[in-house]
Structure 1
Amino acid sequence: SVDFAEKALYFRDTGLVERNVENIESSFAADGVSSARKRRVKILALDGIACTKENIITGNYPFFRPLYLITRGKPTGELKKFLDWILSDEAQAIISAQGTVNLKEGEGLKEKFKLWEHTDLILNY
């Protein structure tokens, strides 16, 4: 067993994570698939299952995370308009077209998502 935590680099920004994986030989990280696809990195297959949008939607690719929109309080004004729009069919189609699983596509993932049992090994958060 190798203790990676001893030599781990810590970043609060996924852009920095991606740049370091691009530039440091034998490095690896957990990252979002949408932004990783725009980089010179290899997205790994897990147990022979490729990280495709379809495999994420079906839950066959076992490594995924939900994203959340948060506000300081109850949204009002322009913020509420934006949030209403982001939930619209138009915005959800844009999200899907960009290669990200939208809300409808990801409906079945909620029951498949679980937090890692060994969260002490998650290093960049």
Structure 2
Amino acid sequence: MTSTLLRCAPLAAALVLAATAQAGNITVKGSDTLVVLAQKWAETYMSKHPDTKIQVTGGGTGTGLAALQNKSTDLCNASRKIKPTEQATCIKAFGKRPTEYKVCLDGLSVYVSADNPVKELTVAQIADIFNGKTTNWKQVGGPDARITVYSRENSSGTYEFFKEHVLSGKDFAATAQTMPGTAAVLQAVAKDKHGIGYGGAAYGAGAKSLKVKKDEASPGVEPTEENVIKGIYPIWRYLYIYVNPALDKGDIASYLTWLRGDEGQQVVKNVGYFPLPKDLRK
């Protein structure tokens, strides 16, 4: 009896693996900026494809890319492009560069309290606030009050994008308060009338997004869909999904095609981000 069970064990294991594959389990990990949208994508897709189960977690872009490299996630959500060193690690892990998909656009917004009278800042003024050079709101036309800077942890793709594209690679102020996610940044800013933070366009509830000026001579621009798609808003970006090319088939390929198509891009709009232009939905 025991020998019969032992002979059957490999077959049973194979059947379990086959059943798992048929069930269409997809794991998604990474950007906290994308986590709300990714959860809504998963919820909508599973309602139409009940045999597919999608599990979404955040943790930051860096965390998601590390999981992609060690093969503990199928898809990595990213709020910045993959770095050359991360690509190299992926090649070492699974023999190829991960496939990159642009999945939507975002106007990276600068948030202050709704009670703050400041309405617009230049990119240079924003940089000076976040690197600690400017410390009082009166230096940028606001009240005589010390500025409280809220930022993200360094595993965040949004942190890295903001550091590269707004701070020109300089460090954040030593006094910046590090928050665990974009939602936490916005909650802190909404409660602190002297606070300032940054995050994705979909997270603005409870705080006020500032108009951003490219320079002193330029007009202030709001992070609206039209301004982001036209490239008028100075701090815009694509948001991405990365996948091991060997996994980009079957249920995973179908899901990626769906979320970049018209239905998935309508979810993007409903959540508060900006859909891909039609020519990027292929």
Q: TM-score, normalised by structure 1?
A: 0.68
Aligned-partner residue type, residue 263 of structure 2: E
CA–CA separation in structure 1 for the residues paired with 2:233 and 2:226: 9
Instruction: Give the C-alpha shift of residue 33 in structure 1.
Output: 0.6
2:222 maps to what in 1? 50
Of the three residues 134, 140, 165, the one matched with 1:2 is 134
2:201 maps to what in 1? 33
2:264 maps to what in 1? 91
1:114 maps to what in 2? none
After the TM superposition, which of the residue ranges 11-20 and 71-80 deviates more from structure 2? 71-80
Higher share in strand: 2
Of the three residues 234, 241, 244, the one matched with 1:62 is 234
After the TM superposition, which of the residue ranges 68-77 and 11-20 deviates more from structure 2? 68-77
Structure 2, unpaired ranges of 5+: 1-132, 136-148, 150-172, 214-219
Q: TM-score, normalised by structure 2?
A: 0.33
**Count of aligned positions:** 105
Higher share in helix: 2
Instruction: Give the C-alpha shift of residue 106 in structure 1.
Output: 8.9
Structure 1 pair 29–105 and aligned structure 2 pair: CA distance change class (3 A): farther
Structure 1 pair 33–105 and aligned structure 2 pair: CA distance change class (3 A): farther
User: Is the 8 Å Cα contact of residues 57 and 105 (structure 1) preserved in structure 2?
Assistant: no
Q: Could you say what the CA RMSD is over the residues aligned between the two structures, in angstroms? A: 2.4
1:102 is the counterpart of 2:275: yes
| RCO higher in structure (CA 8 A, sep ≥6) | 1
User: Is the 8 Å Cα contact of residues 56 and 64 (structure 1) preserved in structure 2?
Assistant: yes
After the TM superposition, which of the residue ranges 51-60 and 63-72 deviates more from structure 2? 63-72
1:81 is the counterpart of 2:81: no
